[in-house]
Structure 1
Amino acid sequence: MTLSIEQCTDRAEWDAAINAALGHPMQLWGWGQTKAAHNWTVDRVLVKDTAGVLVGSAQLLFRRLPFPFRSLAYIARGPQAAAGCSADVLDAVADYVKSMHRSVVLSIEPDWELDSPPAKALSAEGWRRSPNTILIGRTLILDLQRSEDELLAAMTKKTRQYIRKSGREALSYRRVSREELPGCLAVYRMTAERAGFGIHADGYYLDIFDNLGEHSPVFAAFDGDEVVAFLWLATSAGTAFELYGGMNDAGQNLRANFTLKWTAITAMKERGVRRYDFNGLLNDGVSQFKFGFADHEDMLAGTWDMPLSRLYPVYARALPLARTSVRKTLALVAAAPTALAGLRKRAARNNRPQ
């Protein structure tokens, strides 16, 4: 299939294309806009066939690397591709990155099930599995097209009980305004200090909230005017994706995270979002909490590299220090720093993935 690449510089056109394809919120304009303000560059491309029909798209993030590697190209939970076009779209995007950006590698973490045809075809198409995982492939995704009764029935009995119990406490659960975000970030700093993981300055999170707008809802449990727990999402028409969360001692004691998560899930269902991604499962207490909300788990395709330069073997094998530097950079700016080995266990002890 002969495909062409067009850069997209119009936000409305871009977001409309992503939502029409039920793409991931990390492919929305506002997500790339935030990354571009925090040490990345971004390029958004539309992929069309010979008749000018849109068959794919990809928001490309680039991170400068030391000489002579030039840059790393990365697609978070993309690309979007029409049915049967995934391999051709990826080929076109990889050729574009190689010719226009001369990156050493294109790394992807597509939002595809591991056993799906596009994922199964990656190896045969020349893609290589990468150990440099950013977004954890093992996760839990709820089908929000199921009824609330069906969603509740899939939960453990204990989870349903705690939802009812914490919902009866003297707490209110609702969406957070921008003026209330400092209360959430204060809880986040407390959570990070307790669990021992690093976080960004407040400005980073405010940028996400501002740049994603309606695509970045934050929900919180309030004791009067005080935030005792919060849950931050990124959403597209297709997917709601958990970004950050935390609780203070009062929130823990009242098990506010149970009703809070159910509040977020039902709000996304009411919005018409089709799926709710808990963003990663590890062998830890937080994952056990997540498991209480479903009777299954999901495995996505994982992390794959397309070498674009003869220097790729050097980048991948002979320069471990450079690889470590890239992984640390990605962990600070991408959506899941639990991928960084040194932070994985600490980040897993709380309800935040990034």
Structure 2
Amino acid sequence: MKVNWDTLSYPEWDAHHAAAAAPLQQDWAYGACMKTLGVGVLRALVEQDGAPVALAQFIVRRFAGGLAHMALCSLGPVWLQPLSGDDKARVYKALKKTIPLKNLRVVAFTPLEAQGPELGLSRWRRVMTGHSTVMLDLLPEPEALRAQLDGRWRYSLARAEESPLTIHRVGTNAGQYRWLLDAEMQQREQRGLHGLPLHFFDLYVPSRQQPAKTILTMRADVGRDRVAGMMFLIHGEAATYQVGWTSDAGREQNAHNLILWNAIQELRERGVRKLDLGGVNTTRSAGIARFKIGTGGQVLTCAGTFI
């Protein structure tokens, strides 16, 4: 395996990333935003016999005044072609061996894969268990996507479609979607949750020439009252559900069902073929988990964090 560090251009990385419908955390623009926020970033292209087989973007943090580094490849590497578990193991080994960091270093991976013989990390130490998320394939036609909805989810959608709710696509200027981020920050404070910093969104949305390729925000109104909203970050041919809020009135009208269904249509029209609906926790947030699983998406429990 040959590892090329920081040699690919933005367009070259984007092309590989889009072809793989890869995660947000492996998007070039995500790394560029983190760099602006003061976090170190390293990017690698791995080749086997001259052919590209993997991308890996690392977020690097310094400790002890730069005497130690922690490099995390979150939801990566991105596999550019099918590899055996043995070949994946060689990729991981080559990345760790060649990463251009001096002094004491810890290299960690949290692959977007389930535990199994083909993971390629059997000789690494798992230090954290993996999270679960729901991945929704957007390639099927809308009729097929609707048919795979859980019966109760589909019933709630039908009720929302007959309700006074109206769905609107929110503009891409920061002032047009700021209300939703403000609501998100209030929710985080109330529930003790953490997430991307507010300034990240200000940087990520204009990171491509067409903001429609980085964000989709939709809201539900009843008359002149805003009752719910959802934000999706787009990264190549994939998207991630990032922020959601609803009022009591929106909850009663099943506003999120109607927003998500409309967002699915919009994302498909923009060329998105995979939607990550985000983490599910059936213990702490059972209602949210049921909502996401009810879409008919695949529940993926990741293998964890390895060093």
Please tell me the TM-score bracket, short chain as reference: 0.7 to 0.9
1:234 and 1:149 map into 2 onto residues whose CA distance is 24
Q: Which amino acid aligns with 2:124?
A: W
Partner amino acid, structure 1, of 2:132: R
Q: CA, structure 1 residues 54+122, in 2 after alignment: closer, same or farther (shift >3 Å)?
A: same
Deviations 1:103-139 (A, max 9, x none): 5211111122334x532x311xx211122x6xx5322
1:59 is displaced (CA, Å) by 1.0
Match of 1:311 in 2: none
CA shift digits 1:169-217 (9 cap, x unpaired): 3333233212411222233244335545456664333223233641332
Per the alignment, do residues 54 and 184 of structure 1 end up closer, same or farther by CA in structure 2, a change over 3 Å counting?
Answer: same
Find the counterpart in structure 2 of residue 219 from structure 1. 218
More strand as a share of residues = 2
In structure 1, the partner of 2:7 is 8
Counterpart residue number, 2:46: 47
1:152 aligns with one of 140, 146, 151: 146
Distance 1:252 1:186, change over 3 A: farther
Change (3 A) 1:34 1:225: farther
| Superposed displacement of residue 31, structure 1 | 0.6
In structure 1, the partner of 2:92 is: 90
* Structure showing the higher helix proportion among its residues: 1
Residue 118 (structure 2) aligns with: 118
CA distance in 1, matches of 2:18, 2:185: 33
Normalised TM-score (structure 1): 0.74
CA distance in 1 between counterparts of 2:49 and 2:189 reads 54
Q: 1-side partners of 2:238 and 2:88: how far apart? A: 19
Is 1:171 the counterpart of 2:165? The answer is: yes
Contact kept, 8 Å, 1:5 with 1:45, in 2: the verdict is yes
* SS of residue matched to 1:297: strand
Q: Please give the TM-score of this superposition, normalised by the length of structure 2.
A: 0.84
Distance 1:229 1:69, change over 3 A: farther
Please list, as runs of the form range in 1=range in 2, the aligned pairs for 1:313-328 lying within 5 A after superposition.
none
| Residue type at the aligned position of 2:301 | M
Aligned to 1:17: 16
Alpha-carbon shift at residue 49 of structure 1 (Å): 3.5
Match of 2:304 in 1: 302
Change (3 A) 1:6 1:64: closer
Instruction: Note the aligned Cα RMSD (angstroms).
Output: 2.7
Q: Which residue of 1 aligns with 2:277?
A: 278
SS in 2 for 1:104: strand
Q: Aligned pair in 2 of structure 1 residues 165, 296: CA closer, same or farther (>3 Å)?
A: same
User: Pairwise mapping of residues 69-148 of structure 1 onto structure 2 (< 5 A)?
Assistant: 70-81=68-79, 82-84=81-83, 85-97=87-99, 99-102=100-103, 104-115=105-116, 117-119=117-119, 121-123=120-122, 126-131=123-128, 137-148=131-142
Amino acid of the structure 1 residue aligned with 2:207: N
| Number of matched pairs | 295
1:180 paired to 2:176: yes
Any idea what SS the aligned residue of 1:165 has?
helix
Instruction: Judge conservation of contact 1:189–1:199 (CA < 8 Å) in 2.
Output: no
Q: Please tell me the residue identity of whatever aligns with 1:100.
A: L
1:43-65 per-position Cα deviation (integer Å, ceiling 9, x unaligned): 112222353x3222111110112
The answer to whether the 8 A contact 1:237-1:274 is kept is no
Deviation for aligned residue 1:37: 2.3
For the structure 1 residues 203 and 71, does the alpha-carbon distance in structure 2 shift closer, same or farther, using more than 3 Å as the test? same
Structure-1 separation of matches of 2:169 and 2:102: 41
Match of 2:294 in 1: 292
Separation (CA, whole Å) in 2 of partners of 1:34 and 1:225:
35
State the one-letter code of the partner of 2:109.
I
- Secondary structure of 2:295's match? coil
What is the match of residue 261 of structure 1? 260
Pairs within 5 Å for 1:185-224 = 185-197=181-193, 202-211=198-207, 213=211, 214-223=213-222
Q: In the aligned structure 2, how far is the partner of 1:78 from the partner of 1:215?
A: 20
Answer whether contact 1:159 1:258 (CA < 8 A) is retained.
yes
Structure 1 unaligned blocks of 5 or more: 306-354
Contact 1:187–1:229 under 8 Å retained in 2 = no
Superposition deviation, residue 223 in structure 1: 4.2
**Quick check: 2:134–2:297 contact (8 Å CA) kept in 1?**
no
